[in-house]
Amino acid sequence: MRSLTDLPFDNTYTRLPEAFYARTRPIPFTNPHLVSFNPAASELIDLDPAEAARPEFVEYFSGKKQLPGADPIAMLYAGHQFGQYVPQLGDGRAILIGEVRGRQGIAWDLHLKGGGMTPFSRGFDGRAVLRSTIREHLGSEAMHGLQIPTTRALCIIGSDEEVYRERVETGAMLVRLAPSHIRFGSFEVFSYRSQHDLLRQLADHTIEHHFPHLDGTDGDDRYVRFLTEVVERTARLVAAWQAVGFAHGVLNTDNMSIHGITMDYGPFGFLDHYDPGFIPNHSDPGGRYAFDQQPGIGLWNLSALAQALLPLMTREAAVAALDRYEPVFLNAYAEHMQAKLGLRQPRPEDGELLSELLAMMQASEVDYTNLFRSLASFAREGGADGTAVREMFPDAERFDAWAARYRARLGAEGGEPAARAARMNAVNPKYVLRNYLAEAAIRKAEDERDYSEIERLLALLRDPYSEQPEMEGYAAAPPEWGRQLVISCSS
C-alpha cells in the first residue's frame, strides 16, 4: 500500500490541449476536518487506509496542499439540461486533482467536488454542502453494493464555512473516483462549436485510454464502435436502475458518463412504495426524469451524443448504433426481473406475470424492495405459504389469482426451492438507501456533528443482500415523516 505522497499520477487528460480544460486550484477551507473515509475506495488507488489518520490527509484533500504529481484542472463540457442545450457548463465546483494508476494498471480520476470557484462557475460560489456530499458518499457506495456501475466516494471533508442555498448550510468537499469524468456533454461542446478537430482529438483520447480494445480499428469505424459500446453500456445501466428501483433525478447529458456508470448524485431516490411516476427532484415538476421515464431519457441522451459525433461518422452508422439501445435494454431488464422472480428459463408469459405484479403493487402502494425480498420465502415453499406476501395486498382475490399463476410457473421451472430462494436473495436486496435513512444521517451530522450514522449506513449498504438481524429496522418502509421526501437540486 502507498502513502499519500507516493501516489503514482499519470495525468493523461492534461496532455490534451488547454481548450479542453482550465488549470485551477482548490480554495481550501479555514478549519477543515474529516467527516468520513472509505477504505474500500482507497484500495482502488492502493492508498494505505492508515493515511486517513494523518493530519496531512485533510490538508491534501481540502486543497490546502497539493499532492505530488497532481495537476488540478476544471474540465470543459456543455450539455442538454432538462431538454435545453446549454452551450457551456464545465466543472463549476469540481476539480480533477489528477489521475492515479493503481498496481493493477487501472487509472482512476481523483475528483474534488466543492473546491470553490473555477473559471466555469458562472458566478456561483463553487462550493458543495454537507447535505449533498453525504448523499453522494452514501449513494455511490450503495450502488456499488448493489453491483451497479458507479463512481466511488473516497472521503468527505467538512468545515464551519457558511454556504448559502435555500438556507444557510455548512460547506463540504467530496473526493470521488471514476475511470474518467468524460461526459456526453464533453463531446457536445466541441461539436456545437464546429470545432471538429478538437472533437476528433477527444474521441481519439477517449478510445486510446478508456476503450483501448477499439484503438486498432481501421479508419472511422472505431468511432462508430465507440458509440455503439456507449449505447450498450448505458442501456444495461438503465436496466439495472429500473430493476432495483433507482431514480437518478437529473439525467442531463452532462450527468451521463461515457463509461456507462452512475455519476453526479443529486436529488436521486430509491422507490419506497411502487410508484412508476416517482419524481425525486422538486425541480422537475413535469416529471421529465421520473422513474418510468428513465429508459426513454437514456435513449434521448444517447441521441444527443450521437448527434455530437456526426462529424466523425455517417448518420446511418449513428442510427444503427442507437438501434442497439432498445433490444439491449429490454433483454437486460428482462433478465434482471426474471432473476428477481426466481426464474431461470424465460417463457413468453413471464412478461404478463411481471406486469400484473407491478400493477397490483402500484394499486396497493406496496413497498418495492420489501415485496421482492419477501418473494423468496414464497418461492422456497413453492408458493404453499404466501401469507406474508398476501398480507401486503388489500385485494386478496386479485393477489390469489396472480399467486396461482406464479405458483404454477415456479412448478414448471423445477429445481430445488431452497436454492431458488438463495438465488433470489442474491438479487433482491434487503436494504437500499431510502431517502429517510440518508436524511436521518444528514440531520445527525448537521445538528450534532455526529457522523456515526454515515459509517453505520456505509457498513450496512456494502452488503445489502445479506440478512443483518441487528440492522432489521433499516429495511422498514419509511415512517410518516420520511414518506415522499423530495430532494433539491441545490447543493
Task: Report the alpha-carbon distance of residue 385 to residue 369 in Å, rounded.
Answer: 20
Task: Tell me if 135 is assigned to some domain.
Answer: yes
Task: Report the alpha-carbon distance of residue 403 to residue 353 in Å, rounded.
Answer: 10
- From 425, 441, 466, give the residue that closes a domain: 425
- From 184, 201, 220, give the residue that closes a domain: 184
Indicate if 95 and 192 belong to the same structural domain. no
Task: Tell me if 475 is assigned to some domain.
Answer: no
Task: Report the alpha-carbon distance of residue 491 to residue 62 in Å, rounded.
Answer: 18
- Is 91 labeled as catalytic in the residue annotation? no
- From 159, 184, 209, give the residue that closes a domain: 184
Indicate if 34 and 130 belong to the same structural domain. yes
DSSP H or E run through 269:
strand 269-270
The three cell numbers locating residue 128: 458543495
Task: Tell me if 20 is assigned to some domain.
Answer: yes
Per-residue model confidence as pLDDT tens for the chain (491 residues): 899 999 999 999 999 999 999 999 999 999 999 999 999 999 999 999 999 999 999 999 999 999 999 999 999 999 999 999 999 999 999 999 999 998 778 899 999 999 999 999 988 999 999 999 999 999 999 999 999 999 999 999 999 999 998 889 999 999 999 999 999 999 999 999 999 999 999 999 999 999 999 977 666 799 999 999 999 999 999 999 999 999 999 999 999 999 999 999 999 999 999 999 999 998 999 999 999 999 999 999 999 999 999 999 999 999 999 999 999 999 999 999 999 999 999 999 999 999 999 999 999 999 999 999 999 988 776 555 567 899 999 999 999 999 999 999 999 988 898 999 999 999 999 999 999 999 999 999 999 999 999 999 999 999 999 999 999 999 999 988 877 676 766 55
What does DSSP say about strands 168-178 and 107-113: parallel, antiparallel, or unpaired?
antiparallel
Task: Show the domain range for 167.
Answer: 4-184
**Domains held by the chain: number:** 3
Indicate if 243 and 330 belong to the same structural domain. yes
At 179-207, the pLDDT tens digits run 999 999 999 999 999 999 999 999 999 99
Task: Tell me if 180 is assigned to some domain.
Answer: yes
Task: Tell me if 437 is assigned to some domain.
Answer: no
Task: Tell me if 81 is assigned to some domain.
Answer: yes
Which amino acid, 174? L
At 440-466, the pLDDT tens digits run 999 999 999 999 999 999 999 999 999
Indicate if 368 and 327 belong to the same structural domain. no
Residue showing cell 436486496: 429
Task: Report the alpha-carbon distance of residue 123 to residue 120 in Å, rounded.
Answer: 8
Indicate if 327 and 347 belong to the same structural domain. no
Other CB atoms within 10 Å distance of the CB of residue 11: 18
Q: Which of 91, 109, 254, 367 is catalytic?
A: 254
Indicate if 179 and 192 belong to the same structural domain. no
Other CB atoms within 10 Å distance of the CB of residue 144: 20
Indicate if 167 and 235 belong to the same structural domain. no
Indicate if 225 and 313 belong to the same structural domain. yes
Indicate if 31 and 159 belong to the same structural domain. yes
Task: Tell me if 214 is assigned to some domain.
Answer: yes
Which amino acid, 48? D
What residues contact residue 218 under an 8 Å CB cut-off, 6+ apart? Answer: none
Indicate if 180 and 193 belong to the same structural domain. no
Which amino acid, 414? G
Which three-class secondary structure state does DSSP give residue 439?
A: helix
At 354-370, the pLDDT tens digits run 999 999 999 999 999 99
What does DSSP say about strands 73-75 and 21-23: parallel, antiparallel, or unpaired?
antiparallel
DSSP string, 233-298: HHHHHHHHHHHHTEE-S---GGG-BTTS-B---SS-EE-SB--TT---BTT-TT-TT-GGGHHHHH
Indicate if 167 and 191 belong to the same structural domain. no
DSSP H or E run through 455:
helix 452-461
The stretches of 16-158 forming alpha helices (DSSP H) are 39-42, 55-61, 130-145
Indicate if 370 and 402 belong to the same structural domain. yes
Which three-class secondary structure state does DSSP give residue 21?
A: strand
As a whole number, the mean pLDDT across the chain is: 94
